Amino acid sequence: MKINPERLLGDLRQLRSFGATGPGVVRLALSPVDIEARQWLAARMADAGLDPVIDGVGTVFGRSRKPGPALLIGSHTDTQPTGGWLDGALGVMVGLEVARALAENDETRDVAVDVASWIDEEGTFAGFLGSRSFVGDPVEETISSATSRDGQRLADALASAGLSGRPRVRFDASRHIAYLEPHIEQGGRLEAAGKSIGVVTSIVGIRELRLRFTGQRNHAGTTPMSIRRDAGAALVAFIGRMDEAFRQLADADTVWTVGRIELDPGSLSVVPGQADLYLQFRDANAQRLWAMEAKLAELVADFNAQGGVSVALTAADAAEEPVAMDEALQAHLARAAETVAPGQWMRMPSGASHDAQIIARSMPACMVFVPSIGGVSHDFIEDTAEEHIVLGCRVAAEAAAAILLAHRSS
């Protein structure tokens, strides 16, 4: 398969201009600049021979004019508040280039490739809103109640963009046979291994929990150490025990993060009476996640048995279970990677969440990664070498052609 690297890179650079901030991009979901970018993307889809719509939640969906079966390729074009230029955007523009490339090739000109830019993968209002709507999740209550961090209502943002009441695109079981999401790795594994392509095996599950330590607020100068019930000190001590216990359960892909600590009242002259620890851990192995949850509950029980400061464990967000990528699609990607970049690819889990984990509920799904320079993402300096962007697109095009032609002949 032949792609047009200049066309691909040119589109990526043009998309980067919407919300460009230094080397990065600020293009929050449904912001005016995001809507402007979506309108531009819809026009590029039309130029490529697709029939584009911006649906009732803001997803841009380009439907091939060819009859199915169709391969759906996509990702997202909204960003984090301090976002990089390729997170999500790469997958959408690779999808568009693959659709054009297959249409320009004699052997594949009659196959159908649909392209999507899902809305709000990054969770400005509600994470994975577009892909959840697509697979039929009941998002109506979310649309009516969700707000952004600055207090804007999702319903008002949709109304301001002129999207309220529009139909929402939905999965078509008679048309869509598989989903492919190209993406930057957002980590440093490929770079460290000297590889150029990652064939994703699974998307990790996530647990987000809050541990609240309750002691006794008191004067920091007049309360002897021997009688203190210091919630902050207890929290710090607990982290050490938790870290040691998790290391005994973990493998090389297990990660855990204390992302936020809050002390009450947070004064240098007051012994904290309450301390909150917000914890996240991720793994692609569901049994290991359950073991980590059980170990955490055991540590809490042991801690409470000691007296002095008590700790309560609650969920901070709904649990996300690991999602395996379709093995047959992985095989297509692996063969494409070996054809395009022999010896330069590896299988690997995704440590980040993606729309593919939502789409996988409705149809077989797969992902392909390209390296992130320095392993950096969700930051203005996020970047990927142009040669890797092009290589990833070539792998995606080879795999897309193979998936569609295999389905046609089956």
Q: How many residues does the chain have?
A: 410
Binding residues: 76, 87, 122, 183, 378
Residue tagged 């598989």 (tokens): 178
In sequence order, the 6+-apart residues with CB closer than 8 A to the CB of 138 are none
Query: What whole-number distance in Å separates Cα of residue 82 and Cα of residue 138?
Result: 30
Query: What whole-number distance in Å separates Cα of residue 98 and Cα of residue 324?
Result: 24
SS3 (DSSP) at 388 = helix
Query: What whole-number distance in Å separates Cα of residue 261 and Cα of residue 276?
Result: 6
Query: What whole-number distance in Å separates Cα of residue 184 and Cα of residue 203?
Result: 14
Binding residues for Zn(2+): 76, 87, 122, 183, 378
- Of residues 333, 337, 373, the one with CA closest to residue 190: 373
SS3 (DSSP) at 252 = coil
Query: What whole-number distance in Å separates Cα of residue 145 and Cα of residue 129?
Result: 13
Q: Within its chain, how far is the Cα of 380 from the centroid?
A: 17
269 backbone dihedrals φ, ψ, rounded to 5°: -100, 10
Q: Residue 295: left (phi > 0), alpha (psi -120 to 50), or beta? A: alpha
Which string of b and e fits 253-265 if b means at least 16 CB within 10 Å? bbebeeeeeebbe
353 is written with which tokens?
A: 């969440």
54 backbone dihedrals φ, ψ, rounded to 5°: -110, 115
Query: What whole-number distance in Å separates Cα of residue 43 and Cα of residue 48?
Result: 9
DSSP assignment, residue 153?
Answer: B
SS3 (DSSP) at 335 = helix
Q: Using an 8 Å Cβ cutoff, are 177 and 69 in contact?
A: yes
Q: Using an 8 Å Cβ cutoff, are 89 and 24 in contact?
A: no
Query: Using only C-alpha atoms, what is the Rg of the chain?
Result: 24
